Amino acid sequence: MKKFTIPAALIFIAFGLNSCKKLEEVPSDKDIRMEWWRDAKFGMFIHWGLYAIPAGEWKGEKLEKGKIGEWIMNSLDIDTSEYEKLANEFNPFKFDAKEWVKIAKDAGMKYIVITSKHHDGFSLWDSKVSDYDIIDASPYKRDILMELTNAANEAGIKMCFYYSIMDWHHPDAESPKDYKHQNNPDANWDNYRDNYMIPQITELVKKYKPAVMWFDGEWIPEWTEEQGKDLYKYLMQLDPNLIINNRISKAREGMSGMNKYDDAAGDFGTPEQEILEETSEFDWESCMTMNDTWGYRKDDDNWKSSEQLIENLIDVTAKGGNYLLNIGPMANGEIPQESISRLKDIGDWVKINGEAIYSSSRWKPFKQENIYFTLSKDKKFIYAILTENISEDHIKINGFLPKEDSEIIHLSTNKKVKWEKISDSQFSLDTLKIEDFGVAQTFKIRVN
Ligand code: FHN
């Protein structure tokens, strides 16, 4: 229901006046704030909104191959007055928050980030400053964000919200200089920001207490680093435990997602559809689709294999990042079967090998030929994750030695593995000639 929350806007403006100073936080405080996130490693991204209805096709016209479903309004140049009618049809009668959370949990995901509002401007909760939301504009009239938050809390999964700064629906954010389907030359960005966007974000943080606010759509010229810093500072006052991605600022370096300058607002970098080549000192999370689209497209069948997704998780973890893997549910509330089956495969792998992933940190080097390494939180174990079977019965590992007289355990079989010192920095390890190799095999090596 629409009701302006002026106080939130005023608080934000007040911060804005004396802002630009970076939020003062000592590194150890940041370490405490980030601890659960760094341990989590694996999360579910959910892109869900009105765009799931056209699912890549508008009045018989199909999106080109490779175009993403949630951008249909822009890609097919659909007028706001036409697109917004989709809200009358949004009735996901098969949506089951507990089921979604269970699918994420069984896959080994520790947090969920859902699009509370994507670029199309439609909100998945009952926003007090908007009529363009699930309660006021759709026949469904259920607070999707609250149902997911409750289910996630119950399951011990952290609930997080994506929020698009750019908004193709609000008249004051609809400047034609940004996109051709926008048509308000008198758009008043400050009005949108202070009386709509900030109150919406405030509602989300206060009412649902998300663990992460995941911003996007920051590249438009109306948004500046200064506004990003103001918003970061404001949100940290609202909830000092909140974690915020770097897209609150202007520092993101294209799809590689890391910051192109220092002192930008935000806690972690956001490579998109990419995995960093090397590790980074700055926290990062690689977000990725399972096929080519974020929002559901009925004709997108370019699915990555389960093997590829598991190897991505290993690769990201070994390089010290998090992996945020996307699903694009259908308009009726169902998750595509192709996504469910891949998540099940990943879940099966992490059930056995998860201790090499969760709470681990990176080991240098993170990889030696086809062996990835991670280090346990207590630094007692190095995990060697072999991603390709080898014909020999042993592998040589360089750079460290197992603790004297210790045992190496093969996680899939729980068998003890023979090892032999070759030199002060090299040993060989019996790979057991694994017949049913699967995607990757983990060896747990005691080092301290
Ligand atoms: O434009 C969006 C896109 O639709 C999707 O939400 C991705 C996810 O990271 N981010 C944007 C582009 O950077």
pLDDT tens string 94-134 = 999 999 999 999 999 999 999 999 999 999 999 999 999 99
User: Which of 417, 325, 344 minimizes the C-alpha distance to 41?
Assistant: 325
294 lines ligand 1 (CB under 6 A): yes
User: Average of pLDDT values for 80-98?
Assistant: 97
Per-residue three-class SS string for the chain: CCCCCHHHHHHHHHHHHCCCCCCCCCHHHHHHHHHHHHHHCEEEEECCCHHHCCCCEECCEECCCCCCHHHHHHHCCCCHHHHHHHHHHCCCCCCCHHHHHHHHHHCCCCEEEEEEECCCCCECCCCCCCCCEHHHHCCCCCCHHHHHHHHHHHHCCEEEEEEECCCCCCHHHCCCCCCCCCCCCCCCHHHHHHHHHHHHHHHHHHHHCCCEEEEECCCCCCCCHHHHHHHHHHHHHHCCCCEEEHHHCCCECHHHCCECCCCCCCCEECCECCCCCCCCCCCEEEEECCCCCCCCCCCCCCCCCHHHHHHHHHHHHHCCCEEEEEECCCCCCCCCHHHHHHHHHHHHHHHHHHHHCCCCEEEEEEEECCEEEEECCCCCEEEEEECCCCCCCEEEEECCCCCCCCCEEECCCCEEECEEEEECCEEEEECCCCCCCCCCEEEEEECC
Nearest atom (ligand 1) to Cα of 47: 6
Q: For residue 435, how far is its CA from the centre of ligand 1 (angstroms)?
A: 41
Q: How far is the CA of 278 from the centre of ligand 1 (A)?
A: 23
The least confident of 42-51, 169-178, 266-275 is 169-178
For the purposes of burial, counting CB atoms within 10 Å of the CB of 263, is it exposed (0-12), middle (13-18) or buried (19 or more)? exposed
Atom of ligand 1 nearest to the CA of 326: 8
Distance 301 CA to ligand 1 centre (A): 19
Q: Is the peptide bond before 171 cis (omega within 30 degrees of 0)?
A: no
CA nearest ligand 1 atom 4, residue: 70
Residue 437's pLDDT is what? Answer: 80
Question: 190-233, pLDDT tens digit by residue?
Answer: 999 999 999 999 999 999 999 999 999 999 999 999 999 999 99
Distance 273 CA to ligand 1 centre (A): 10
Q: Which atom of ligand 1 is nearest to the CA of 255?
A: 13
Q: Ligand 1 in contact with 287 (CB < 6 A)?
A: yes
Question: For residue 284, which phi and psi values (nearest 5 degrees)?
Answer: -150, 160
Tokens for 369, please give them.
């030929």
- Work out which ligand 1 atom sits closest to the CA atom of 71: 4
- Please write the tens of the pLDDT for every residue from 397-445: 999 999 999 999 999 999 999 999 999 999 999 876 777 788 999 999 9
Which residues have CB under 8 Å from 42's CB, separation 6+?
107, 108, 109, 110, 313, 322, 323, 325, 350, 357, 358
Q: Tell me what the mean pLDDT of segment 257-265 comes to.
A: 95
β-pair type (419-423, 426-430): antiparallel
70 lines ligand 1 (CB under 6 A): yes
> What rounded mean pLDDT belongs to the chain?
93
Please compute the mean of the pLDDT values over residues 35-56 and round it to a whole number: 98
Residue (of 318, 254, 229) closest to 22 by Cα position: 229
Q: Which residue has the higher pLDDT, 10 or 201?
A: 201
Q: Which atom of ligand 1 is nearest to the CA of 70?
A: 4
Among residues 348, 434, 344, the alpha carbon closest in space to that of 387 is found at 434
Of the chain, the percentage scoring pLDDT greater than 90 comes to 87
Condensed to tens digits (0 to 9), the pLDDT of residues 322-375 reads 999 999 999 999 999 999 999 999 999 999 999 999 999 999 999 999 999 999
pLDDT score at 28: 83
What spatial distance separates the first Cα and last Cα of the chain, rounded to whole Å?
59
Q: What is the pLDDT of residue 19?
A: 41
Q: Could you tell which of 73, 272, 291, 326 is best to mutate to test the pocket of ligand 1, judged by most ligand atoms within 8 Å of the CB?
A: 272
State which ligand 1 atom lies nearest to the alpha carbon of 219: 13
The answer, yes or no, to whether any atom of ligand 1 lies below 6 A from the CB of 272, is yes
pTM: 0.95
Q: Which residues of 110-123 are buried (b: 16+ CB within 10 A; e: fewer)?
A: bbbbbbbbbbbbbb
Answer whether 214 contacts ligand 1 (Cβ < 6 A): no
Q: Which atom of ligand 1 is nearest to the CA of 162?
A: 6
Distance from the alpha carbon of residue 216 to the mean position of ligand 1, in angstroms: 7
Q: Provide the pLDDT confidence category of residue 2 given band limits of 50, 70 and 90.
A: low
Residue 54 near residue 86 (C-beta atoms within 8 A): yes
Q: Which atom of ligand 1 is nearest to the CA of 295?
A: 4
Bridge-based pairing state of the strands 158-164 and 285-288: unpaired
Per the DSSP assignment, residues forming a β-bridge with 293 are none
Determine phi and psi for 383, rounding to 5 degrees. Answer: -100, 130
The dihedrals phi and psi of 329, each to the nearest 5 degrees, come to -60, 160
68 ligand 1 Cβ < 6 A: yes
Q: Distance between alpha carbon 246 and the CA centroid of its chain, in Å?
A: 12
Distance 238 CA to ligand 1 centre (A): 26
Residue 23: the pLDDT is 57
Instruction: Give CA–CA dist 385/401, Å, rounded.
Output: 16
216 lines ligand 1 (CB under 6 A): yes
